[in-house]
Structure 1
């Protein structure tokens, strides 16, 4: 009877360890506790990236009068001889995109050099529209800005780590994780590392707990171009990295646990 109780206690201890590990796997365990207002406020920040040196931008200026806005576009519209309408002349890449130089400037047609480092997508669109109307255009134009080299680097314990490219310049942490086919079971969900370079060129690290749903209300939830996401392995995988092959480490760990339980039962049975 005494040995039976000891076996039950040992099994219960192992079960508790397994349950603790299982608690570290789910995401956003407290999502129901996040106020709706906080979720709504976070969603309104989506898609407004911050411009930095090295960004490759496509900026289109449109209006009801195609001839009036044509000088302000790198993407030129050439008249067709048959219909009198306009077709796009794409040319090479350098003739379409604006490269933000190290000082945060671009050379814009007619307007010349513009300092745009630190601006957001929306603020740049409004800024260019204000420069064009009413000085050059009789009506306020429609300005659209897109980033062409938006990349996020995902390394560590993802199932499919790699470089993610977002054509529309929008990507959040959950989308990045999904595109990497989730974290491995050994990846730490309580300590996702986000490495970001701010517009001044300074790098900083933000640690994010994916188990806590509050991370979706953080400014860092919306990723910026050239962000780095690093998933650390948990302690069990870190220990396995010292052994080869992994199956050997798993077998030795299981054997060690079994021996510990047997020793514990034997000692207690003699008392």
Structure 2
């Protein structure tokens, strides 16, 4: 009888521990629906759409000509950006979550940018590619064979909640994914709810769109919101039960379960 009860004790303890470990893996594993084998799984990404320039965006605009002095007034208005901020400086801002001061041309409330020499140019609603072409068309009227560089100077993404480094991040380019943003924020903590990540996107008309993502499922790659836009906000909800307290509770229950079975074994053995 003693041997039989001991075997049952071992078996039940093993089952409990197995369930605990399996549930933990399920809760914290990204894209759990993908195969664990070496077989390649092809995933169709959501369609990338270039972000549109919005009111209050800040743009870096530079015009290069054979005579640098002639376009100096335009380029100097970019402040530190035009002065040649190094990529290492930009990377430091990204990794620290420091948005710092963005230098460049502000898109005013009417959607216009005021550029020295060129005058007022309406850029709201255009992609940076379209805006560059429009500025270049204007620059041709004043310069010979101008080359225009135009990009976002404040493509900001905010990541809040259960991540390692919550904050606002200025992206080095405008093709940014949900995973990129989470990566810049140092990944989710063990307390982050991976199956209910919230994206908040504010439209130009003042409305707010809220989109939920399940990072446990690879369907996230197919979402039309997988690629982010400037000023998007990501919120990672905490788990209802903190992992530490959950683990402590599970450990306590196992200890009680083991103690009860041990007591039963001792009583049965003594009776026999």
Q: 2:55 aligns with which of 39, 49, 53?
A: 53
Q: Give the corresponding residue for 2:178.
A: 173
Q: 1:213 aligns with which of 208, 212, 218?
A: 218
Q: Distance in 2 between matches of 1:263 and 1:204?
A: 53
Contact map agreement 1:52 1:104 (CA 8 A) in 2: yes
Distance 1:64 1:195, change over 3 A: same
Distance 1:151 1:265, change over 3 A: farther
Aligned pair 1:119/2:126, yes or no?
yes
Contact map agreement 1:154 1:228 (CA 8 A) in 2: yes
The number of residue pairs the alignment matches comes to: 237
Aligned pair 1:22/2:25, yes or no?
yes
Q: Distance in 2 between matches of 1:166 and 1:111?
A: 28
Q: Distance in 2 between matches of 1:172 and 1:99?
A: 25
When normalised by structure 1's length, the TM-score is: 0.69
Q: Give the corresponding residue for 1:4.
A: 7
1:190-229 matches, within 5 Å, as: 190-229=195-234
Aligned pair 1:33/2:41, yes or no?
yes
Contact map agreement 1:53 1:101 (CA 8 A) in 2: yes
The runs of 5 or more residues in structure 2 that have no matched partner are 85-100
When normalised by structure 2's length, the TM-score is: 0.69
RMSD: 3.7
Q: Secondary structure at the match of 1:236?
A: coil
Distance 1:111 1:218, change over 3 A: farther
Q: How far did residue 110 of structure 1 move?
A: 4.3
Q: How far did residue 156 of structure 1 move?
A: 1.0
Q: Secondary structure at the match of 2:60?
A: strand
Q: Distance in 1 between matches of 2:65 and 2:54?
A: 28
Distance 1:261 1:190, change over 3 A: farther
Q: Distance in 2 between matches of 1:10 and 1:221?
A: 43
Distance 1:225 1:18, change over 3 A: same
Contact map agreement 1:62 1:143 (CA 8 A) in 2: yes
Q: How far did residue 181 of structure 1 move?
A: 2.0
Q: Distance in 2 between matches of 1:174 and 1:113?
A: 37
Q: Distance in 2 between matches of 1:23 and 1:174?
A: 19
